Amino acid sequence: MSDAAIHEAAHAVIVILMGGIVKSVDVRRTEAQQGITYYRLKPDPLRGVCVSLAGGCGEFLSRQRGYEFDMSCRADIDEMHEDLDTLKPKTVAERLRHYRAALALTKRLLAEHWGCVLAIARRLRTHETVSGALCHAIVASHESQRRFSCTG
């Protein structure tokens, strides 16, 4: 999956896992962007950093799993820095701790929910847009399967 589908699907999955609401995900290209995830998230800088990191983390995980993907998104980086600024770190070391904590959490959640990322990405490659309702259903289905397998 060598397109924006993995990147945007990763954003969508993390939004949902952070308690947000995905409205829709779109990978129809414009001059300004390769794709976009429309969502609402309770104002929380650390959650915002996780969402901003999700696209790049998804790309990283897809490369580890044998997919080729090379895309940088300046908008994600800018949003991440704005969220980190909101945390008002007193030192560079404190800012770095917040970043590392968000990065570790994002990578772990994406690895645990990689099947959700792939399911949303497949639909994006076929249809170019996916409803938020479908994204939520995919993640909910994965969560119920995880709970069932953990309990017996």
How far are the Cα atoms of 8, 17, 22, 35 from residue 50, in angstroms, in the given order? 13, 10, 15, 18
105 sits in which H/E element: helix 92-112
Q: What is the pLDDT of residue 66?
A: 53
Burial group, residue 19, by CB count within 10 angstroms (0-12, 13-18, 19+)? exposed
Are the C-beta atoms of 35 and 4 separated by less than 8 Å?
yes
pLDDT (mean) for 121-132: 95
Q: What is the pLDDT of residue 62?
A: 84
Q: What is the pLDDT of residue 75?
A: 67
* Residue 63 or residue 94, greater confidence: 94
Domain CATH number, residue 118: 1.20.58.760
Q: What is the pLDDT of residue 97?
A: 86
Are the C-beta atoms of 67 and 95 separated by less than 8 Å?
no
Domain extent, residue 144, equals: 4-151
Across-strand partners of 25?
A: 37, 130
Burial group, residue 11, by CB count within 10 angstroms (0-12, 13-18, 19+)? buried
Q: Could you give the number of structural domains in the chain?
A: 1
pLDDT (mean) for 65-93: 68
Q: What is the pLDDT of residue 123?
A: 96
